Amino acid sequence: MPLYVMAGSIIPMGPRLQFSTEKPADPIELRIYPGSKGRFTLYEDQNDGYGYEKGVYTEIPMEWNDTRKQLTIGVRRGSFPGMLTQRTFNVVLVRKDHGVSDAETAQPDKVVRYSGKKVVVQLP
């Protein structure tokens, strides 16, 4: 079944899980659909309770610059108990036969080790 995605979209895909606390959501595949600029904020919290109402969550801003073919992963904002302080983003620039199924992409374009600091990723 075709899935239509707007140019410039940044779509995160986590590992397959049976339930939200089965294991940490790492690595996360970031699929970028070229053709326009785009923004996305990755939100995470403890998965249960109401801590998010008191600001107990994180946000990681992301921005795609289509002209430069650059993904900027911004500074993480916030924290919560048990969060991953180090994580891996597998970055995939979607194109014909690359990053087009619901399965994890075997060969990401870039693998980024993220520790909460700003990272600029240059893609082909």
> What does the alpha-carbon distance between residue 114 and residue 108 come to, in Å, rounded to a whole number?
16
User: How many C-beta neighbours within 10 Å does residue 32 have?
Assistant: 25
Identify the DSSP state of 105: P
**What is the sign of the dihedral through the CA atoms of 95, 98, 104 and 106?**
negative
Residue 55 structural domain: 10-122
Closest alpha carbon to 45 in 18, 77, 67, 1? 77
Answer whether residue 4 is part of any domain: no
pTM summary value:
0.92
Count of domains observed in the chain: 1
Give the CATH number of the domain where residue 45 resides: 2.60.40.1180
User: How many C-beta neighbours within 10 Å does residue 6 have?
Assistant: 9
Answer whether residue 32 is part of any domain: yes
Per-residue pLDDT of the chain (124 residues; tens, 9 = 90+): 778 899 999 999 988 888 877 878 899 999 999 999 999 999 999 888 899 999 999 999 999 999 999 999 999 999 999 899 999 999 999 999 999 988 899 999 999 999 999 999 999 8
